[in-house]
Structure 1
Amino acid sequence: MSGGLRVLAVDDVPAALGELCALLREAPEVAEAAGAADPLTALRMIQHGRFDAVFLDVAMPGLDGLELAALLSRLSDPPVIVFVTAYDQHAVAAYGVGAVDYLLKPVRAERLADALTRVLRVVPGAPAEAAAPTALPDAMAALPVETAGRTRYVRRGEVHYVEAHGDYVRLHTRTGVHLVRMPISRLEEYWEAAGFVRVHRSFLVALGAVRELRSDSAGGLLAHTDLGDVPVSRRHARELRERLLHAARHGQLDRTGRV
């Protein structure tokens, strides 16, 4: 293969990401190594440019490495996946989603060389070139929720509103309230295009879940849903009204068809 590999490293720990990128850039097989500090950024980078391989951490908040790899495997021309993690218990699952190698941290240069050799065996001979934007699968149509040692998936369409709780969010659904480890600002990035609007520092609401706007006893604004009232701050009130008006005009306020 001419030109060398174009590689993306994904890790939410800055020091680990920097170290991995440095190792990749020193490898003679690699022509270019880029870094992404979270899965959403990685998805955007892959959407707008082609990578021969993606080196993924497993344990990341929100969308973890295994879930991101499963999404990427559904692309028409997916990158080769190599996992890089401090834990070995995910190895079976990693190979189950098609990874060619599984590196344990701290990564040694010689072990990285072995992984790159495996990548080269799989990557087609043509060098990676700039490609047209790729249509990616919906990254966050469902979120994994851990309960009593079991994992269940809460679909985005089940969620009426989201409440911040420190480094976690509470997903309010008809089946209950589900806790997910993810900052509300990150979830806002993922779900904004799907009709979730930031209405307060601590709340997102699904436009399709809003039945009406109400005033509280102090003159504040509330977005009423079937699961309760969501406070709307003054700075977000105008945007919410405009988004609701736009959604109403385009028939987007009926939740029955939401994903």
Structure 2
Amino acid sequence: MTGGLRVLAVDDVPAALDELCALLHDAAEVVEVAGAADPITALRMIQSDRFDAVFLDVAMPGLDGLELAALLARLSDPPVIVFVTAYDKHAVAAYGVGAVDYLLKPVRAERLADALTRVLRVLRTKDPEPVDTPAALPDAMAALPVESAGRTRYVRRNEVHYVEAHGDYVRLYTKTGVHLVRMPISRLEEYWEAAGFVRVHRSFLVALGAVRELRSDAVGGLLAHTDLGDVPVSRRHARDLREQLLHAARNGQLDRTGRG
């Protein structure tokens, strides 16, 4: 894959299709969006053109989204499938036909960004020329522009101790203050994970080099202590954080924080 994503959205409800197309249009990863109001039209479009990903509703008349996905899976080079539906009861079946994500309506920009990240990861494994894929994006995000009072300041990645999600924005915690940037935390995680930032909670990323110790809170939860405060660590992320801290300590990476 070269350039941005070419995406097909499929939904038999016009308002829902328009909303999904608009969300995809606004996504930085997407270069082109097409819409289909029914699965048969979508199948014809896929047969005559190439799409990187298809965002599918499940409940549609005639051929439903699950049946269409099963047909697409038989192609020699099928598009990546993401389901978009108002019901969660089809999730198991959706993953069973190879979908990479399952979005519930109404779709939030942060969840859409997370789904697009999954799509990109799948496409990278298929791409014989990774040099031309968005894999080069993380280095381009070594500093983020922050707008304030008509001025633009660039916050360097190595100044950031941890990141907190705030809707479609993130808060960057540095020794010079807290900076608000318009970007979903899932997208920033994709850009910064190679630089030592770890997802420790649905709402937090922390720089491994900024973690001074792990602590227990008053109710037995885990906290990652930094010079700027404690960051909550969810149970699902606790083991991974411990392992990454141990690996970083063994390689001397915790001594080279360069923060503030």
The residue matched to 1:170 in structure 2 has which SS? strand
Which secondary structure state, in structure 1, belongs to the residue aligned with residue 239 of structure 2? helix
- Amino acid in structure 1 at the alignment position of 2:24: P
SS in 2 for 1:219: coil
Q: Which runs of 5+ in 1 are unaligned?
A: 1-5, 21-31, 50-129
2:206 corresponds to 1:196: no
Residue 235 of structure 1 aligns to a residue whose secondary structure is helix
Moved more, 139-148 or 169-178: 139-148
**Alpha carbons 1:9, 1:35 under 8 Å: kept:** no
Superimposed CA distance per residue, residues 67-100 of structure 1 (whole angstroms, 9 cap, x where no aligned partner)? xxxxxxxxxxxxxxxxxxxxxxxxxxxxxxxxxx
In the superposition, the TM-score normalised over structure 2's length comes to 0.52
Which residue among 28, 32, 51 is the counterpart of 1:17? Answer: 32
Distance 1:10 1:142, change over 3 A: farther
After TM superposition, the score normalised by the length of structure 1 is 0.53
Deviation, 1:148, is 1.0
Shift in alpha-carbon separation, 1:211–1:187, aligned structure 2, 3 A: same
Q: Is the 8 A contact 1:48 1:132 kept in 2?
A: no
The verdict on how the C-alpha distance between 1:35 and 1:146 changes in structure 2, with shifts beyond 3 A counting, is: farther
- Separation in structure 1 between the aligned mates of residue 212 and residue 2 of structure 2, nearest angstrom: 47
Report the counterpart of residue 239 of structure 1 in structure 2. Answer: 240
Q: CA deviation at 1:139?
A: 2.0
Separation in 1 of the partners of 2:192 and 2:2?
27
Decide whether aligned partners of structure 1 residues 144 and 246 sit closer, same or farther in structure 2, where only a CA change above 3 A counts: same
Aligned-pair identity (%): 70
C-alpha separation in 1, matches of 2:125 and 2:242: 32
Q: Does the 8 Å CA contact 2:172/2:179 hold for their aligned counterparts?
A: yes
Alpha-carbon distance between aligned partners in 1 of 2:199 and 2:129, rounded to the nearest angstrom: 34
Structure-2 change in CA distance of 1:213 and 1:18 (3 Å): same
Aligned 1:4-83 pairs, distance under 5 A: 8-9=3-4, 13-14=23-24, 17-19=32-34
| Deviation per residue, 1:157-211 (Å, 9 max, x gap) | 0000000111111000000000011111111111111111111111110000000
Provide the C-alpha distance between the structure 1 equivalents of 2:236 and 2:121, rounded to a whole number of angstroms: 30
Quote the offset at 1:234 in angstroms: 1.1
Q: Which amino acid aligns with 1:17?
A: E
Counterpart position of 2:209: 208
SS of corresponding position for 2:253:
coil
Q: Following superposition of structure 1 onto structure 2, how do residues 50-129 of structure 1 map, counting pairs within 5 Å?
A: none
Would the aligned equivalents of 1:164 and 1:183 in 2 still touch at CA under 8 Å? yes
Contact 2:198 2:241 in 1 (8 A): yes
Give the equivalent residue in structure 2 for 1:252.
Answer: 253
1:198 maps to a residue whose letter is R
Name the counterpart of 2:175. 174
Once residues 3 and 246 of structure 2 are traced to their aligned partners in structure 1, the CA distance between those partners, rounded to angstroms, is 41
Between Structure 1 and Structure 2, which shows a larger proportion of helix residues? Answer: 2
RMSD, aligned α-carbons: 3.6
Change in 2 beyond 3 A, CA 1:143/1:46: farther
Whole-Å separation in 2 of the counterparts to 1:7 and 1:132: 9
Q: Distance in 1 between matches of 2:150 and 2:125?
A: 34
- Say which SS state the counterpart of residue 193 (structure 1) adopts: helix
The residue number in structure 2 matching 1:133 is 131
Contact 2:210–2:259 (8 Å) recurs in 1: no
Question: Whole-Å Cα distance in 2 between the matches of residues 7 and 162 of structure 1?
Answer: 30
Cα distance, 1:255 vs structure 2? 3.7
Q: How far 1:19 moved relative to its partner?
A: 5.0
